[in-house]
Amino acid sequence: MKPLSEKISSIPPSATIEITDRARRMKAEGTDVISLSIGEPDFDTPRHITDACIDALNEGKTHYEASQGIPELREAISEKLKTDNEVDIGASGIVVACGAKNNIYEAMEACLNPCEEVVIIDPSWVSYEPAVRIAGGVPVHHSLNEKGFQLDDSLLEKITAKTKMVILNTPSNPTGSVLSKDSLNLVADICRDNDIIALSDEIYEKLIYEKDHLSIGSFDGMDDRTITINGFSKAYAMTGWRIGYAAAPQDMAKAMTKVQQHTISHPATFAMWGAVAALKGDQSCVADMRAEFDSRRKYVCGELKSMGFTVAPAEGAFYAFVNINGDDMERGDRWLSEAHVATTPGTAFNAPGWIRISYAAKMDTLKEAMRRIREFEDRRD
């Protein structure tokens, strides 16, 4: 048989998903593995959201819909962006897709010509580089200063005539850190001066414990060059629903919609009705989950620090990013095979020497995981 796509064969599988699958297999074979490798809220989707979806199914909302997403959801998203983020994009600039991951890929397809460059700020989430490469773009990596995990002028060195886009992710997966106003201003200046698009992934916006969330799309002169990405997976514990969105200037939204029309059409109609209920309903569920994540964060970071590890500023999301001062692939493997705790090595995020621990798990589970890691580290050769 003729060889399959060289482009795809050179792209690694998603580390977050692969390691979690390995932990699942170990569990199925009888090993008592604690899985802290995937970023997924352990809470059930709030009841009023699932009820709205069930109602939609019972009311026969089971047909094809507008490819950009149902108007009711796009209106609610547009309203949310105005109120929470000072991003003023009408419903026609909103594209609802099958998870923020799908939106990010659509944005790449819509914006990139072959060989155009996309600056990715490391440590970076595992799927940015593959999305750029699948769409034919060229990823250019820039590392954050590991002390404060903020940006400085050195970012300018990565900008060339071919730079089309910069990807931002605040709060960050994997570090948990939040970009400061100064860092965002620097990116905004660079984007305006060099005619570059900012793709701002704000999926962890609601899970922020220190500092305030800022959307670069609200900065002066950024409204016509920002694609704001967000979704329902993290804030509303709706990972399996697969609903995310992009808010973008009209021409970009139209191009993304074309990609959508020829690939997914749109996400499941009844799932979009659940998302309407999430945005329009009582928001105390979000605050309750955030409060729970906050106490887990304090516990896990405290434990790791007491073991002697340096932890990145855990200001948002639900990850502790730990500097293990050694080979993260080897240590992550040993934490899994010997201590039976699954985590994700920093190498997967272009940050060797670090390990990401998701604290989106019950407190008792986290306590047992910390006990196992401490015991392993105490006797490690």
Q: Which residues bind ligand PMP (CB under 6 A)?
A: 39, 99-101, 125, 169, 173, 201, 203, 231, 233, 239, 244
Question: Does 365 contact ligand GLU by CB under 6 A?
Answer: no
Closer residue to ligand PMP (CB): 167 or 324? 167
8 Å CB contact between 376 and 334? yes
3-class DSSP assignment, residue 179: coil
Total site size for ligand GLU, rule CB under 6 A: 11
Task: Read off φ and ψ for residue 348, nearest 5 degrees.
Answer: -65, -20
Contact of residue 126 among ligand PMP, ligand GLU, none (CB under 5-8 Å per partner type): ligand GLU
**Helices marked H in 59-174:** 71-85, 100-111, 128-134
Closer residue to ligand PMP (CB): 142 or 340? 142
Question: Does 38 contact ligand GLU by CB under 6 A?
Answer: yes
Enter the tokens of residue 82. 């105005």
Closer residue to ligand GLU (CB): 18 or 294? 18
Contact of residue 38 among ligand PMP, ligand GLU, none (CB under 5-8 Å per partner type): ligand GLU
Calculate the alpha carbon distances from 380 to 70, 321, 375 in Å.
55, 20, 8
Contact of residue 85 among ligand GLU, ligand PMP, none (CB under 5-8 Å per partner type): none
CA pair distance 250, 68, nearest whole angstrom: 12
Interior/surface letters 143-154, b for 16+ CB within 10 angstroms, e for the rest: ebebeebbbeee
Contact of residue 92 among ligand GLU, ligand PMP, none (CB under 5-8 Å per partner type): none
Closer residue to ligand PMP (CB): 173 or 339? 173
Please name the residues in contact with 140: beta carbons below 8 A apart, sequence gap of 6 or more: 117, 118, 119, 120, 158, 160, 163
Question: Does 173 contact ligand GLU by CB under 6 A?
Answer: yes
Question: Does 168 contact ligand GLU by CB under 6 A?
Answer: no
Closer residue to ligand GLU (CB): 309 or 321? 321
CA pair distance 117, 114, nearest whole angstrom: 9
Question: Does 14 contact ligand GLU by CB under 6 A?
Answer: yes
Task: Read off φ and ψ for residue 5, nearest 5 degrees.
Answer: -55, 125
Tell me which of 23, 34, 39, 336 binds ligand GLU, using CB under 6 A.
39
Site residues, ligand GLU (CB under 6 A): 14, 16-17, 38-40, 101, 125-127, 173
